[in-house]
Amino acid sequence: MHNQVMRSRLIKYRLIYSGAVVLAIGLGLGTRAYSNELPPFISAHFGDALWAGMIYLACRVLFIRQPLWLALLLSLGFSFGIEFSQLYQAEWIVQIRATTAGGLVLGQGFLWVDLVRYTAGILFCYVVDQILQN
């Protein structure tokens, strides 16, 4: 009985985190699609913060049984890794980045400010997660 209850809880939490991932994707794409209608600060910064927050939430989906700090570290590492990978400009990866999906996932060019945006988005999700867990 206990295993079934635990399994049911894990499924419930994975669904909640998955829904949050979808919401973050929708909001992030919205900041791109409606950037001209949004305040400049929001259109300039929120898309990247939402992308990184989505990475944190996806880590929670994948590593639901692990502590929150692990998702924090993994998502920071992944996001920073993607940003630093933009310093690599081989022809094949430039072509991938030129596609819509490639540009959304891999970005276009290295910016130090993106590291701040990613950190803010991930920390926001982590703090909200901490509050909701307690």
56-68 pLDDT, tens per residue? 999 999 999 999 9
Using CA atoms, how far apart are residues 39 and 36, in angstroms rounded to an integer? 8
Using CA atoms, how far apart are residues 85 and 74, in angstroms rounded to an integer? 16
Using CA atoms, how far apart are residues 13 and 61, in angstroms rounded to an integer? 8
Please return the burial class of 117, using the count of CB atoms within 10 Å of its CB with bins 0-12, 13-18 and 19+.
buried
Q: How many domains does the chain have?
A: 1
pLDDT tens digits, one per residue of 82-131? 999 999 989 999 999 999 888 878 888 899 999 999 999 999 999 999 99
Domain of 41?
A: 2-133
Sign of CA dihedral 75, 120, 28, 91: negative
Q: What is the share, in percent, of the chain residues with pLDDT greater than 90? A: 81
Residue whose entry in the numeric block shows the structure tokens 């944190």: 56
Amino acid at site 87: L
Predicted confidence band of residue 1 (pLDDT cuts 50, 70, 90): low
Amino acid at site 96: I
Closest of 51, 62, 43, 60 to residue 25, by C-alpha: 51
